[in-house]
Amino acid sequence: MNLITFTEAGLFCSLGQFYIDPWKPVDRAVITHAHSDHARYGSKHYLCHTYTKPLLQLRLGEGNYQAIEWGERININDVVMSLHPAGHIIGSSQVRIEYKGEVWVFSGDYKTENDGLSGQFEAIPCHTFITESTFGLPIYKWEKQETIYDEIRKWVTQNMEDGFSSVLLAYSLGKAQRVINALEQNQNIYAHGAICNSQELLINQGWELPSVQRITVDTEKSALKKSIVIAPPSADGSSWMKRFSPFRVGVCSGWMQVRGNVRRRNADAGFVLSDHADWDGLISATAATGAEKVYVTHGFQSAFSRYLNEKGIDAYEVKTAYGQEEEDEGKETKIDTP
Amino acid sequence: MNGMSLFATLVHALGTSTKTNDKLDALVDYFGEASPHDKIWVIALFSGRRPKRAVTSTLLAAWCREKANLSQWLFEECYHTVGDLAETIALLLPEIKRGINPHSLSYYLEKLIDLSQNSEAEKKSFILESWEQLNRQEKFVFNKLITGGFRIGVSQQIMVQALARTVSLETSLIAHRISGKWDPMTTAFEELLGGELASTDDSKPYPFFLSYALEQLPEELGLHEEWQAEWKWDGIRGQLIKRNDKLFVWSRGEELITDKFPEYNALLNILPNGIVIDGEIMPSRDGQPLPFALLQTRIGRKNVTRKQLLEAPVSFFAYDLLEIEGHDIRSFSLSDRRKNLDAIVKSVNHPALLVSRIIDFNNWNDLKILRDRSRENGAEGLMLKRMSSTYQVGRKRGDWWKWKIDPLTIDAVLVYAQKGHGRRSNLYTDYTFAVKDGDKLVTFTKAYSGLTDKEFAQVDAFVKNNSLEKFGPVRTVKPSLVFEIAFEGIAASARHKSGVALRFPRMLRWRHDKNVDEINTLEDLKRMLEIYGK
């Protein structure tokens, strides 16, 4: 039985009459996480994880939000729905749907390595698994995050010695918090407004995160000399960056695995740090669910589904409107405080 | 750090640094630290002197798939996303755990050279063994040594500057000393840069003097009497050398191509010794230029057939004289060099050697009118050279300008797309275009360049959302995006469905204002072939 169908407006559970991460306004939306390609404006009722709610309020403004905990079971018209940690960003969740013993899980975006903020990804046993595939090719294999953090720290130190500021481009919700944590021992980390907004909101919510200095028109240029600056990818190449001169740019993204992308971004350094599962992560997560049937969404869906089929798993590719933004070549819409 | 690791670090630094000065510093550091034997190999590699390919790409890919346990389609999927075979393999092979790699760059290169004699099994064993010694960055570099095309964001000019700084010599001297025929296996660093080799090597060419495109009005160059105008020929720029009764022909790419043009053998006995002529290797009959497409049928072939010699005969259109009676005369004025050149060509009096004639003109306006007739003359525009100019090294502004005619253009629709390479990896940037033929579309050219990064990103998004079918790496897309395609020439071709082959096609602009009904037709192309294809 199809517990989820793929419709014009997004993933739809007709038995429960709700959508998951719809890309059009609907009556009831279950939201996996607060990135804007998954959490869109205009639905009448949103249900999400407790940690996600304030982030949704920040992005989408006031509205009708319901928050639940991981593992909490919600009954909607005979369907049991629950959220489970996805390890992608703070509050990110997988959606489990059960109806008369049949279980489907939608992964949302996920990564299998625990980043210390987003919770440990849990593989949920199910009959049908709907998985993302952002990095669904075997060329994408991540180093342990500590190794990457070390690289970032070394790069920052070298830049300071050479008299340069270090501008690190990281998505403002998720990656930025990880990078700021990794650089915690440094004094005075400066950040772009979009990143400050997320950071301050999370601190106010009780997250133990280092505070960062907001860069404003009044920030003294002298204070920015040889500094560390965290900025969203959209700031790259903008006139906003000029105040940091001389500076070097480091891009933190899974796409930096391929040299051509580093060169195209004109980055001085690329750090392969991702909030998505790598190839091995996708395979192990999919296998651990024990699913007989797998739908593969955004990313390298045709390659990953073909691979799964070769391994004897019934897999199909699905076209969605996800992945348009976040790690997609570093495009990002601004997060503004309403 | 030792040899191979040091070199891999250099390649990484050159590939990621975005400023010329950083690249220069990285090279100077490298030349300060590396062993002399590795240094000579780096000069060789960065000046296009790559050893012959010891292992085919097909075999490399097969061994990688075997090692990483991957099916062929998945490997290819990865390759098309990465856009570089050497890098794809480095990414797919398991990362190794090891301490210091004991081997030098020259160790691997010389092993690879020896390997070309070996059996496939021996090749495989060396490649697999090496992959296990090298970390990811080194593996990439190692694979690049085999697959070639070391285009890693460093020009020969930057390397020359770095060497000049390292050994405290003038860049023009370095450029000359590292040019020509020398073997990194047997040449010592000091010998090459100390100039001992240059004085004994009969084949040694001079670095070419290259021009920039004229961007201002010719009037701004000053008095027209101070300038010499010639046709700009579309052939292969080359140097013809005779020293010690031996004849050499070099291409601008510093390839010795004497054997490819037997036409020039006739000059061996009639040219005086100690002579270097700069000019264009041109397909030509009775002194008249023929289209470049004819020459293309000859280059790339190992042996030239008699049929080719008949169908695509070649002459040398001489531009300049760089050496006479063994003396380097590059510091003479152009007009003096030209007088000498004319005298020599006249005395040789052979159809294989012609002077590229000087165009008479009375004022800049006359010249503009003449330039508009370039195509009728088989040329792609004009060259303007200051008569008092010396023969310089590399691309320089000021004394030589190329003044090309506007390209031919045609409006066409994008029908196929493929992912690009290098910095365009994982982006659909390689396109095939079609014109109308009745109610059908006929593909006629590919083009990869001419759009801004932003436009490429937009087309990429369009391709991803509008693909109709997928054939391996190629996607067919809904024919709706119209582009103005510019090209330098057109020739008949039996190999293309459309019956034409274009010279240097590229996207001039994206015609947002046009839809697919408004593009040009196959008839239009054929008409162009009629007018310009002869």
pLDDT (tens digit per residue) in A257-276: 998 888 888 889 999 999 99
Q: Which residues of chain B have pLDDT under 50?
A: none
> How far is residue A151 CA from its own chain's centroid?
22
Return the closest-CA partner of residue B23 out of B187, B115, B159: B159
Does A303 contact B at CB distance below 8 Å?
Answer: yes
Q: For residue B87, with 0-12 CB atoms within 10 Å meaning exposed, 13-18 middle and 19 or more buried, which class applies?
A: buried
Peptide bond into A246 cis (omega under 30): yes
Question: CATH code at A123?
Answer: 3.60.15.10
Q: What residues make up the domain containing A160?
A: 145-271
Q: B103-140 b/e with 16+ CB inside 10 Å = b?
A: bbbbbbbbbbeebeeeeeeebbebbeebbebbbbbbbb
Kindly tell me the sign of the dihedral angle through the C-alpha atoms of B345, B350, B356, B357: positive
Does B96 contact A at CB distance below 8 Å?
Answer: no
Cross-strand partners of B239: B250, B278
SS3 A271: strand
Residue A330 has pLDDT above 50, yes or no: no
Question: CATH code at A208?
Answer: 3.40.50.10890
- For B90, the closest chain A residue by CA position comes to A139
Residue A75 has pLDDT above 60, yes or no: yes
The answer on A159 and A128 residing in a single domain is no
The answer on A246 and A122 residing in a single domain is no
Q: What is the pLDDT of residue A332?
A: 34
Residue A335 has pLDDT above 50, yes or no: no
Rounded to whole angstroms, the Cα distance separating A283 from B442 reads 43
Residue A288 has pLDDT above 90, yes or no: yes
Q: Do B16 and A269 touch (CB under 8 A)?
A: yes
Indicate the residue among A236, A271, A306 that finishes a domain.
A271
Structure tokens belonging to residue A315:
């897999």
DSSP A107: -
The answer on A133 and A34 residing in a single domain is yes
Q: For residue B453, with 0-12 CB atoms within 10 Å meaning exposed, 13-18 middle and 19 or more buried, which class applies?
A: middle
- For B71, the closest chain A residue by CA position comes to A307
Q: What is the pLDDT of residue B395?
A: 87
- What are the start and end residues of each CATH 1.10.3260.10 domain in chain B? 3-147
Interface probe, candidates B82, B143, B475, chain A, greatest A C-beta count within 10 A: B82
Q: For residue A104, with 0-12 CB atoms within 10 Å meaning exposed, 13-18 middle and 19 or more buried, which class applies?
A: buried
Does B138 contact A at CB distance below 8 Å?
Answer: no
Nearest to A307 among B74, B88, B95 (CB): B74
Kindly tell me the sign of the dihedral angle through the C-alpha atoms of A125, A131, A137, A141: negative
Does B399 contact A at CB distance below 8 Å?
Answer: no
The answer on A30 and A174 residing in a single domain is no
pLDDT confidence tier of residue A64, bands split at 50, 70 and 90: very high
The answer on A206 and A135 residing in a single domain is no
Interface probe, candidates A158, A263, A278, chain B, greatest B C-beta count within 10 A: A263
- What are the start and end residues of each CATH 2.40.50.140 domain in chain B? 408-532
Q: What is the pLDDT of residue B466?
A: 85
Q: What is the pLDDT of residue B294?
A: 83
Q: Which fold has domain B209-404?
A: D-amino Acid Aminotransferase; Chain A, domain 1 (3.30.470)
Residue A328 has pLDDT above 50, yes or no: no
Q: Which of A 130-149 lie inside 8 A of B, CB atoms?
A: 137-139, 141
Rounded to whole angstroms, the Cα distance separating B310 from B510 reads 42
CATH architecture label of B408-532: Beta Barrel (2.40)
Ramachandran angles phi, psi of B414, nearest 5°: -75, 125
Does A34 reside within a domain?
yes
Does B136 contact A at CB distance below 8 Å?
Answer: no
C-alpha dihedral (A320, A325, A327, A331), degrees to nearest 10: 150
The answer on A161 and A216 residing in a single domain is yes
CATH architecture label of B3-147: Orthogonal Bundle (1.10)
Q: What is the pLDDT of residue B179?
A: 83
Does A336 reside within a domain?
no
The answer on A186 and A132 residing in a single domain is no
Q: Do A261 and B74 touch (CB under 8 A)?
A: no
Structure confidence by residue, pLDDT tens digits, A180-228: 999 988 878 999 999 999 999 999 999 999 999 999 988 888 888 999 9
The answer on A190 and A126 residing in a single domain is no
Does A9 contact B at CB distance below 8 Å?
Answer: no
Rounded to whole angstroms, the Cα distance separating B35 from B30 reads 9
Rounded to whole angstroms, the Cα distance separating A89 from A110 reads 8
Residue A323 has pLDDT above 80, yes or no: no
Structure tokens belonging to residue A225:
């000399």
Does A310 reside within a domain?
yes
Q: What is the pLDDT of residue B254?
A: 73
Rounded to whole angstroms, the Cα distance separating B281 from B297 reads 14
Give how many domains chain A has, as a whole number: 2
Q: What is the pLDDT of residue A337?
A: 29
In this prediction the ipTM stands at 0.91
Rounded to whole angstroms, the Cα distance separating B28 from A221 reads 33
